[in-house]
């Protein structure tokens, strides 16, 4: 039946329910960027920008940009455009970040005109694309500080002026072979060009220019640089010395054929930081060390290192950060078997070094160490001797050392420890005493061992705790029984003994909870409808990632502060079953972001959104066959402002036919559907066709005509309503009575009466919540849980284009039972009074009267009922009932209603 809104009150909800979309563009608020970040991967977007858009498959720039809201501050375009025309972005004067992933050939003069606020500009293209920039293409971008060319070849452009505000220049993945050519393209970089002074930049990124192998001596004469990035080029690192750079502080190189430390470069520039990765250095020559005294940070990752020369740390007195990850370093030499002088080192990364053991005194020269990373080694035993002297150590990572055994007092020498990671280990450790005396430990990540004593004694000051458990192990008891400052809790698998009732006392300030694996099931009630049991009044973020085994959904409900909820992988892989949104989420009044991924979600209806009054963003990912129930159209509370269907498909069903039309209306809910939506016609398996046009041509067309007529009549009604209301009502009333009487006569003549509906439900707008949430699910729900009745609901089932009173009268005549939902509010609205009046008149006029039932949602003085005396005479005692909230009394109510609906008349 078509949708039709006749009542002026409902008119007000029209703009709220409408949706909009921007064809192939995804629009988001910056603060929500992480939810859809994979659609912004190529663009340097930053979540501090208020409003962002990313458009794909752009073939007509003008057309695409027309759909983008004018106040976006970040814009990312990808498509097959090759020429940017003048004033291409003049509609967006507030643009701060622009990423263009196009098939470039040319920027016409003035293409970027008007972008005075632009701060970051990225050109992304294929290495085979040539991009021609006119000399003044960038000169007027007076706020630009970050400029990157990723891919396209710039070789044809010459003399391009750079804006003075520029701090970061990247030319990567391009055809660049010679650094000298770069200076020809951007002459501002070099001293002696027209601007007079040489440039000063924070960063010059020339990484991944696989063919870059030359530099003209003096090519970058006078350029002052803080950082030079040279990963994966063929350029000799020593050539940097001859390039004429006036200053260089940080050099980062990834170069598989490098065999020794670039001592000459370090010494020439007195480098502060050197980051080398994937080299073949192997051993560091003691002579090379002598030039390293200026280094504050050194990375020698994945460089086949084994021996460290004696005096390695002494040679670098300023060194604070040393990263030796993924080597085979003999660490005894770090402090030269305990003879090295004290070093100021603060961070040491020795992960993935295949270490079996750590000899005593290894860290004896590092009293200032704050962070020690030893993950993914093969450490077997550690005792307190190992960490002797690390009195300032704050962070220790031992994760991934599979078979580590830890001595009784192994942490005793680490009084400053705040962060400890023991994940992915099969520790042998007496946990009753393990963390004793670690008063400052705030962050602990731990895999629970499977052995006794099953009592986990933790520091009371923990702020964040992550526990992994092995399935089938005996549950552990947490001691102490209150964690007064614990804010973040992650549980992978369930292995704890916790009282559900007082969990809010155990974790009084918990903000963030992650339940991974099967831990949700342990926190779910076991009744017919299962719901989340932990009552955590302060919880703001909840992430549930299931293991694909749970057979029924657990409704997350009753968390008054929850703002973000992510449900992932909850559907059973073996027995998938479609769920309704209201089975997954219940009453969450503050929820702003809801992310659903592989939950088996099928139906979205108004009933679920009504309990999510603050919802702003809904993200559906890896969900298929979704049905947007048309109750959403009349969604009186509010739909979320943003709905993203990422890898998600709408079902090819007529129930979704209204959506296409809804999306074309004016703004309120932004809907973005990423995947193309196709329909496979059932019979014959013909070719797939786009969803909405298909539904439009195959589903009954009542919708649009109904809407047209509806709005037309609505406008008329609005104009004349006040004048005509009373008079009309009476005329209609008499007509309806007459028809009912005729109908009654006909029925009497023995013609079978066929009812269109089982129940006509009359209610006022204020009581709609009760009707939708309580009444309809039972009446309309499928057997055996529901009663499977055909219900006529005025807002939903009225025939479009027909007068209110006609509609009411016809629907009443066509229904077996009339049910009036009454409250104080209802009795004050003219329509409810009219419906009640009509209903009582029918009882009199029709020889075989349909039944009339009254439901009171609150106590109402009977004398407020219209025609009370007549009603009192007509109604039998069992024809009205009061609804109370308590469970037991609800049962009585349903029993009454059930019995009355089954024996009408």
**Closer CB to ligand NAG, 426 or 892, in the complex:** 426
Identify which of residues 477 and 895 has a Cβ nearer to ligand NAG in the complex: 477
Quote the tokens at residue 42. Answer: 């190529």
Binds ligand NAG (CB under 6 A): choice among 194, 499, 574, 687: 499
Residue 893: what are its φ and ψ, rounded to 5°?
-60, -50
**Residue number with CB closer to ligand NAG (337 or 395):** 337
Q: How far is it, in rounded angstroms, from Cα 374 to Cα 23?
A: 50
* Phi-psi domain of 383 (left: phi exceeds 0; alpha: psi -120 through 50; beta: other): beta
- Interface with ligand NAG, residue 501, by CB under 6 A: yes
CB of 136 vs ligand NAG, minimal distance in Å: 4
Cα–Cα nearest to 198, from 176, 182, 221 = 221
Q: From CA 772, how far away is CA 791, in angstroms rounded?
A: 12
Q: How far apart are CA 714 and CA 709, in angstroms?
A: 8
Q: Is 504 in the site for ligand NAG (CB under 6 A)?
A: no
* Minimum distance from residue 432 beta carbon to ligand NAG (Å): 5
Interacting positions 439-458 with ligand NAG (CB under 6 A) = 452-453
CB 465 within 8 A of CB 487: no
User: What is the nearest approach in angstroms of ligand NAG to the Cβ of residue 185?
Assistant: 17
Among 90, 195, 432, 735, binds ligand NAG (CB under 6 A): 432
Q: Element (H or E) spanning 299, and its range?
A: strand 297-301
Closest CB 424 distance from ligand NAG, rounded Å: 22
**Least separation in angstroms between CB 59 and ligand NAG:** 8
Strand, helix or coil at 133?
coil
Closest CA to 411 of 145, 400, 430, 582: 430
Shortest separation between residue 281's beta carbon and ligand NAG, angstroms: 21
Binding segment for ligand NAG among 13-21, 421-429, 495-503, 852-860 (CB under 6 A)? Answer: 495-503
Query: Residue 279 or 336: which CB sits closer to ligand NAG?
Result: 336
| Cα R_g (the chain), whole angstroms | 36
Return the residue matching tokens 């439900």. 761
Exactly one of 505, 573, 746, 902 binds ligand NAG (CB under 6 A); that residue is 505
User: Could you tell me how far CA 42 lies from the centroid of its own chain?
Assistant: 18
- Candidates 430, 541, 702, 824; binder of ligand NAG (CB under 6 A) is 430
Strand partners, 254: 231, 277
Q: Build a one-symbol-per-residue string for 118-137: x at contacts with ligand NAG by CB under 6 A, - elsewhere.
A: ------------------x-
Contact letters for ligand NAG, residues 154-193 (x by CB under 6 A):
----------------------------------------
Tokens describing residue 870:
């007549």
Residue written as token pair 């004793």: 436
Q: How many residues bind ligand NAG (CB under 6 A)?
A: 27
Site for ligand NAG in 213-252 (CB under 6 A): 213-214
**CA–CA gap between residue 157 and residue 172 (Å, rounded):** 16
Rounded to 5 degrees, φ, ψ at 662 are -60, -40
Angle at 780 between CA 903 and CA 798, to 5 degrees: 95
Of 34, 109, 135, 878, the residue at the interface with ligand NAG (CB under 6 A) is 109
Give SS3 for 107.
Answer: strand
Part of the chain binding ligand NAG (CB under 6 A), chosen from 99-107, 342-350, 501-509, 512-520? 501-509
In the list 285, 341, 433, 701, the residue contacting ligand NAG (rule: CB under 6 A) is 433
CA proximity to 76, closest of 26, 6, 20, 118: 26
DSSP state of 500: S
Output the smallest distance, CB 154 to ligand NAG, in A: 17
As a whole number of angstroms, the distance between CA 578 and CA 586 comes to: 17
Residue 762 CA: distances (Å) to CA of 623, 717, 827, 868: 37, 21, 11, 18
- Nearer to ligand NAG among residue 138 and residue 901 (C-beta): 138
Closest approach of ligand NAG to the CB of residue 104, in Å: 17
CB of 436 to ligand NAG, least distance (A): 10
Sheet holding 601-604, edge to edge: 579-580, 601-604, 623-628, 648-650
Site string for ligand NAG, 258-297 (x = CB under 6 A): ----------------------------------------
Q: Please report whether residue 525 would count as binding ligand NAG according to CB under 6 A.
A: no
Binding-residue pattern over the window 317 to 356 for ligand NAG, x denoting contact by CB under 6 A: ---------------x---xx-------------------
> What single-letter DSSP state applies at residue 850?
P
At closest approach, how far in Å is the CB of 502 from ligand NAG? 4
- Count other Cβ atoms within 10 Å, centred on residue 68: 19
**Which CB atom, from 342 or from 799, has the smaller least distance to ligand NAG?**
342
Nearer to ligand NAG, 140 or 443 (CB): 140
Residue 743: DSSP 8-state: H
Which CB, 110 or 637, lies closer to ligand NAG? 110
Q: Coil, helix or strand for 606?
A: helix
CB 397, min distance to ligand NAG, A? 25
CA 166 from centre of chain: 33
CA 899 from chain centre, in angstroms, equals 47
Q: Given CA atoms 603, 605, 608, 614 in this order, what sign does their dihedral have? A: positive
User: What are the φ/ψ torsions at residue 405 (nearest 5 degrees)?
Assistant: -115, 140
- Convert residues 385-424 into a mask of x (bound to ligand NAG by CB under 6 A) and - (unbound): ----------------------------------------
Q: Which is nearer to ligand NAG, 1 or 83 (CB)?
A: 83
Closest CA to 901 of 791, 810, 821, 814: 791
Residue 582 φ/ψ, nearest 5 degrees: -70, -10
Cβ distance to ligand NAG smaller for residue 505 or 890: 505
| Of the candidate residues 113, 293, 624, 688, the single one contacting ligand NAG (CB under 6 A) | 113
Q: How far is the CB of 276 from ligand NAG (least distance, A)?
A: 21
Cα dihedral 57, 59, 60, 66, rounded to 10, equals 0
Beta-carbon count within 10 A of 40 CB: 22
Q: Which stretch binds ligand NAG (CB under 6 A): 34-42, 141-149, 428-436, 605-613?
A: 428-436
CB of 378 to ligand NAG, least distance (A): 18
Select 337 or 829, whichever has its Cβ closest to ligand NAG. Answer: 337
- Prior bond to 480 cis, omega within 30? yes
The residue range among 10-18, 105-113, 590-598, 706-714 that interacts with ligand NAG, by the rule CB under 6 A, is 105-113
Q: How far is the CB of 339 from ligand NAG (least distance, A)?
A: 7
Taking the complex as a whole, how short is the minimal distance between the CB of residue 815 and ligand NAG, in angstroms? 50
Q: How many CB atoms lie within 10 A of CB 626?
A: 21
Smallest distance from the beta carbon of 431 to ligand NAG, in angstroms? 8
Indicate the residue among 158 and 214 with the shorter CB distance to ligand NAG: 214
Site string for ligand NAG, 60-99 (x = CB under 6 A): x-xx------------------------------------
Spatial contact of 28 and 49, defined as CB atoms under 8 Å apart: no
Whether the Cβ atoms of residue 181 and residue 156 lie closer than 8 Å to each other: no
Which chain residues interact with ligand NAG by CB under 6 A?
60, 62-63, 109-110, 113, 136, 140, 211, 213-214, 310, 332, 336-337, 430, 432-433, 452-453, 481-482, 499, 501-502, 505-506
């Amino acid at each position: 039946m078509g949708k039709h809104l006749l009542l002026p009150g409902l008119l007000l909800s029209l703009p709220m329910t409408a949706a909009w979309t921007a064809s192939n563009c995804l629009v988001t608020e910056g603060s929500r960027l992480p939810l859809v970040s994979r659609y912004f991967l190529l663009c340097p977007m930053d979540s501090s920008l208020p409003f962002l858009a990313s458009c794909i498959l752009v073939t007509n720039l003008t057309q695409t940009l027309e759909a983008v809201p004018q106040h976006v501050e970040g814009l990312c375009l990808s498509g097959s455009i090759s020429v940017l025309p003048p004033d291409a972005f003049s509609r967006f004067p507030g643009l701060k970040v622009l990423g263009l992933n196009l098939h470039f050939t040319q920027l016409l003069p003035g293409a970027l005109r008007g972008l005075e606020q632009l701060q970051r500009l990225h050109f992304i293209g294929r290495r085979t694309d040539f991009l021609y920039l006119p000399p003044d293409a960038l000169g007027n971008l007076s706020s630009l500080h970050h400029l990157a060319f990723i891919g396209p070849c710039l070789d044809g452009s010459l003399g391009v002026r750079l804006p003075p505000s520029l701090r970061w220049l990247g030319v990567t993945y391009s055809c660049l072979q010679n650094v000298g050519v770069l200076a020809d393209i951007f002459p501002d970089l070099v001293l002696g060009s027209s601007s007079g002074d040489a440039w000063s930049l924070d960063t010059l990124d020339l990484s991944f220019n696989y063919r870059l192998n030359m530099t003209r001596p003096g090519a970058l004469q006078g350029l002052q640089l803080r950082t030079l990035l040279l990963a994966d080029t063929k350029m000799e690192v020593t050539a940097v010395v001859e390039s004429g750079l006036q200053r260089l502080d940080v050099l980062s190189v990834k170069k598989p054929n490098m065999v020794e430390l670039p001592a000459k470069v370090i010494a020439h520039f007195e480098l502060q930081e050197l980051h080398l990765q994937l080299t073949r250095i192997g051993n560091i020559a003691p002579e090379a060390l002598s030039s390293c005294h200026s280094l504050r940070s050194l990375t020698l990752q994945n460089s086949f290192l084994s021996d460290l020369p004696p005096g390695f740390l002494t040679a670098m007195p300023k060194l604070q950060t040393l990263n030796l990850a993924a080597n085979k370093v003999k660490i005894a030499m770090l402090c030269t078997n305990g003879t090295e002088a004290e070093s100021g080192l603060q961070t040491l990364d020795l992960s993935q070094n295949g270490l079996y053991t750590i000899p005593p005194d290894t860290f004896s020269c590092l009293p200032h160490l704050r962070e020690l990373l030893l993950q993914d080694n093969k450490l077997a035993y550690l005792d307190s001797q190992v960490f002797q002297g690390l009195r300032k150590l704050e962070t220790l990572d031992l994760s991934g050392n599979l078979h580590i055994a830890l001595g009784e007092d192994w942490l005793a020498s680490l009084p400053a420890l705040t962060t400890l990671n023991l994940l992915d280990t099969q520790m042998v450790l007496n946990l009753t005493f393990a963390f004793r005396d670690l008063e400052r430990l705030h962050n602990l990540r731990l895999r629970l061992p499977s052995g006794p004593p099953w009592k986990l004694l933790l520091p009371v000051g923990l702020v964040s705790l992550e526990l992994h458990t092995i399935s089938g192990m005996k549950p552990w008891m947490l001691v102490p029984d209150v964690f007064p400052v614990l804010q973040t809790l992650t549980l992978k698998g369930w292995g704890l003994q916790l009282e559900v009732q007082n969990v809010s006392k155990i974790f009084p300030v918990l903000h963030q909870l992650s339940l991974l694996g099967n831990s949700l099931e342990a926190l779910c009630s076991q009744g017919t409808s299962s719901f989340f049991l932990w009552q955590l009044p302060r919880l703001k973020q909840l992430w549930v990632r299931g293991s694909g085994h749970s057979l029924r959904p657990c409704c997350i409900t009753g968390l008054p502060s929850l703002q973000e909820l992510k449900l992932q992988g909850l559907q059973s892989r073996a027995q998938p079953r479609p769920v309704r949104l209201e089975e997954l989420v219940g009453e969450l009044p503050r929820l702003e972001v809801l992310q659903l991924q592989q939950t088996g979600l099928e139906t979205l209806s108004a009933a679920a959104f009504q309990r999510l009054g603050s919802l702003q963003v809904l993200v559906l990912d890896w969900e298929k066959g979704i049905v947007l129930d048309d109750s959403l159209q009349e969604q009186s509370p509010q739909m979320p402002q943003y709905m993203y269907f990422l890898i998600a498909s709408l079902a090819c069903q007529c129930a979704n036919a209204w959506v296409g039309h809804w999306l074309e209306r004016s703004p309120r809910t932004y809907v973005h559907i990423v995947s193309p939506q196709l329909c496979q016609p059932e019979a014959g398996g013909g070719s797939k066709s786009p969803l909405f046009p298909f539904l439009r041509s195959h589903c009954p067309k009542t919708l649009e005509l109904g809407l047209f007529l509806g709005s037309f009549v609505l406008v008329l009604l609005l104009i004349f309503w006040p004048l005509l209301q009373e008079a009309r009502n009476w005329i209609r009333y008499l007509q309806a009575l007459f028809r009912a009487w005729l109908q009654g006569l006909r029925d009497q003549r023995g013609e079978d009466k066929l009812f269109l509906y089982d129940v006509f439900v009359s209610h006022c707008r204020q009581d709609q919540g009760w009707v939708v949430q309580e009444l309809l699910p039972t009446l309309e729900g499928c057997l055996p849980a529901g009663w499977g009745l055909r219900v006529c609901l005025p807002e939903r089932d009225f025939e479009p284009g027909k007068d209110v009173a006609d509609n009411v009268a016809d629907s009443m005549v066509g229904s077996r039972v009339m049910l009036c939902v009454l409250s104080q509010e209802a009795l004050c609205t003219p329509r409810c009074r009219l419906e009640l009046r009509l209903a009582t008149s029918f009882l009199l006029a029709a020889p075989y009267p349909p039944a009339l039932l009254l439901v009171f949602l609150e106590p109402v003085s009977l004398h407020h009922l219209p025609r009370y005396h007549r009603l009192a005479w007509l109604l039998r005692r069992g024809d009205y009932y009061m609804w109370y909230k308590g469970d037991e009394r609800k049962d009585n109510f349903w029993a009454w209603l059930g019995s009355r609906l089954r024996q009408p008349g």
